[in-house]
Amino acid sequence: MQRMRFMFLAVTVALTACASVVNRATHQFTENLTTGILNEDDIDTVHDGVPAYLMLIDGIIEGDPENASTLLAGAKLYGAYAGGFVGDPVRAQRMADRAYNYARRALCVREKKLYDALQGPFDQFQTALNQADKRDIETLYGFAAAWAGRTQVNTGDWNAIADLPKLQSLLMEIAAIDPGYDNGGAYLYLGVINSIRPASLGGKPEEGKANFDKALELSQGKNQMVRVLYAQFYARLVFDKELHDKLLNEVLAADPVAPRLTLINTLAKVKAKALLESGKDYF
Partner 1 sequence: MEVNIMKKYIFLALAMFVATVANAATTIKIATVAPDGTAWMREMRAGADAVKTKTSDRVEIKYYPGGVMGDEPAVMRKIKIGQLQGGALTGGELSAIDKDAQIYSLPFLFKTPEEVDKVRVDIDPLLKKSFEQVGFEVLGISGGGFAYLMSVKDIKNKDDLKAAKVWVPQGDHVAEAGFKAGGVTPISLPLADVYTSLQTGLIDTAANTPSGAIAFQWHTKIKHMVDLPLTYVVGILVVDKKVFDALSAEDQKILTDELASAFQRLEKINRDDNAQARDALQKQGVTIFKPNADEAGQWESVGAIARKQLIADGEITPDMAAALDKSLAKVRGSAK
Which parts of this chain interact with partner 1 (CB under 8 A)?
A: 119-124, 155, 157-159, 161-162, 164-165, 196-202, 236-239
CB 79 within 8 A of CB 85: no
Which amino acid, 10? A
- Quick one: 35 or 155, whose CB is closer to partner 1? 155
Cβ atoms within 10 Å of 202's Cβ, excluding its own: 7
- Quick one: 46 or 128, whose CB is closer to partner 1? 128
Minimum CB distance to partner 1, residue 239 (Å)? 4
Minimum CB distance to partner 1, residue 99 (Å)? 22
- Quick one: 215 or 237, whose CB is closer to partner 1? 237
Nearest-angstrom CA–CA distance, 6 and 258: 53
- Quick one: 44 or 158, whose CB is closer to partner 1? 158
> Which string of b and e fits 240-258 if b means at least 16 CB within 10 Å?
beebbbebbebbeebebeb
Minimum CB distance to partner 1, residue 174 (Å)? 19
Minimum CB distance to partner 1, residue 111 (Å)? 20
- Quick one: 6 or 122, whose CB is closer to partner 1? 122
- Quick one: 2 or 200, whose CB is closer to partner 1? 200
Q: Residue count of the chain, please give it.
A: 283
Per-state percent for the chain, helix, strand, coil, to nearest 5: 80, 0, 20
**What is the per-residue DSSP string for 86-108?**
--SHHHHHHHHHHHHHHHHHHHH
For residue 100, give the nearest of 123, 80, 126 by alpha carbon: 80
- Quick one: 2 or 159, whose CB is closer to partner 1? 159
The set of residues, in sequence order, having a beta carbon less than 8 Å from that of 172 and lying 6+ positions away, is 186, 190
- Quick one: 222 or 236, whose CB is closer to partner 1? 236
Task: Compute CA distances 34 → 31, 70, 115, whole Å.
Answer: 5, 12, 26
Minimum CB distance to partner 1, residue 122 (Å)? 4
Minimum CB distance to partner 1, residue 244 (Å)? 13
Minimum CB distance to partner 1, residue 192 (Å)? 11
Cβ atoms within 10 Å of 116's Cβ, excluding its own: 14
For residue 192, give the nearest of 160, 154, 236, 157 by alpha carbon: 236
Minimum CB distance to partner 1, residue 81 (Å)? 23
